[in-house]
Each structure stands twice: as structure tokens, then as C-alpha cells.
Amino acid sequence: MRLVQASFVCSALLPEHFPRDNRPEFAFVGRSNVGKSSLLNTLLRRKELARTSGKPGKTQTINFFDVNGAFYFVDLPGYGYARVAKSVKKEWGRRMTDYLRSRDPLRMVTLLVDARHKPADSDLQLLALLEQSEKPTLIVATKYDKVKRSMRKKHLDMIRDGLGLDESALIIPFSSVTSEGTREIWNVIQEFK
């Protein structure tokens, strides 16, 4: 795909504040700090279009980014260990779940897991929710630059097993530092546009 332009559109938690033009949406989900906003920036070749931080809990609302006037990228708050109050986490969790379950224009969800670690229970819960709602899901193993070359296959197997996926399931290794995996992710997005 030739990327022409990308821009921030709006930030919301309530469905009544989401875009209304019914363009396809592609959402990025995963634990806090896994690298969702960074991945979105890498795909769009824009440095800090989506704000990132070393501190978990940076993205606090559902953020919509226009891509080529054709569809939206949707950056969601992370789950897991964000450094925010329990009540806030609960609220994000509820809004995110509602969005993933019932948002009509949502075409595909990219679930990010950290290539270094075994998936967490929260990742499994999210994957179950996506399966239940029959949303096409792409798994991305991110921060791949942090995994030693000799350990890479082992880590991808660990993620596959941890998520309960079979041999044939697609897991795309990705790094926002080296940009590897970018083309592969775009190819999948293209299929669902």
C-alpha cells in the first residue's frame, strides 16, 4: 500500500464519541507497554503520531487515526500492569471490551505480545474474547530485536504454545526498532480492508 497521509482524529472512551463515517477500523491491543503505539507509528512511518512512553499506561483512551482517508487505525489502552488506579483500569477494561465486542466497523484486531515472555493470562482472556466475537485476529510478537537470534525460534514456539495455537497459526515477529515485520503486517491488513 502506498501511504499517503495519516493523522490523529479523535480520542474517546464512549461509543457516541467514536467516528461515525463507518470506515473500516484496525485495532491494536495488548498488555501495557508491549509496544502498541510504537507499532502503529512504525506502520505509518510517523515518529510520535501515537504517543509512546517507557512507563506502562501511556495510552488512556481509544485513539483513532485516519489513514489515507480510507480507514482507521485504533490505538487502545493496554491491560495488565499499567500504573494507574484500579478503578481506572477497570473502566478502560470495560470500554475496551465493549469496543472489541460490539464495534461494527472493526475489521481486524492485531494482538501484540512481547516476544521475550510467555503470554499472560490476560492475553489468553483477550484472545478468547476475540474468538468469541469472531473478529479476525493477527498475532504479532513484538520487541523481537530484544531476542537473541539463536533463541528466536524457541520464543516463537513458546508464544504459540502459550496462546494455545497450532503449528499453522500465523505469528508475525516485529520490532519497532528495526521495523522488521512491517511489510508482513501491512499485507494482512490489506486483506481485510
Ligand X SMILES: Nc1nc2c(ncn2[C@@H]2O[C@H](COP(=O)(O)OP(=O)(O)OP(=O)(O)O)[C@@H](O)[C@H]2O)c(=O)[nH]1
For Mg ion, the binding residues (CB under 5 A) are: 36-37, 58-59
Site for ligand X in 58-77 (CB under 6 A): 58-59, 77
What DSSP string runs through 162-182? HTT--TT--EEE--TTT-TTH
The residue type of 88 is: V
Least distance (Å) from ligand X to the CB of residue 66?
Answer: 19
Q: Residue 38 touches which of Mg ion, ligand X, none (CB < 5 to 8 A by kind)?
A: ligand X
Grid cell, residue 152, equals 528466536
Using CB atoms within 10 Å of the CB of residue 37, give its burial: 0 to 12 exposed, 13 to 18 middle, 19+ buried: buried
Site for ligand X in 11-50 (CB under 6 A): 30, 32-38
- Find the residue with minimal CB distance to ligand X: 78
Least distance (Å) from ligand X to the CB of residue 155?
Answer: 14
Distance in angstroms (rounded) separating the CA atoms of residues 26 and 43: 12
Distance in angstroms (rounded) separating the CA atoms of residues 103 and 64: 13
Residue 52 binds ligand X, judged by CB under 6 A: yes
Distance in angstroms (rounded) separating the CA atoms of residues 28 and 36: 6
Out of 2, 16, 22, 54, the only residue in the binding site for ligand X (CB under 6 A) is: 54
Site for ligand X in 142-181 (CB under 6 A): 142-143, 145-146, 175-177
| Chain positions contacting ligand X, by CB under 6 A | 30, 32-38, 52-54, 56-59, 77-78, 82, 142-143, 145-146, 175-177
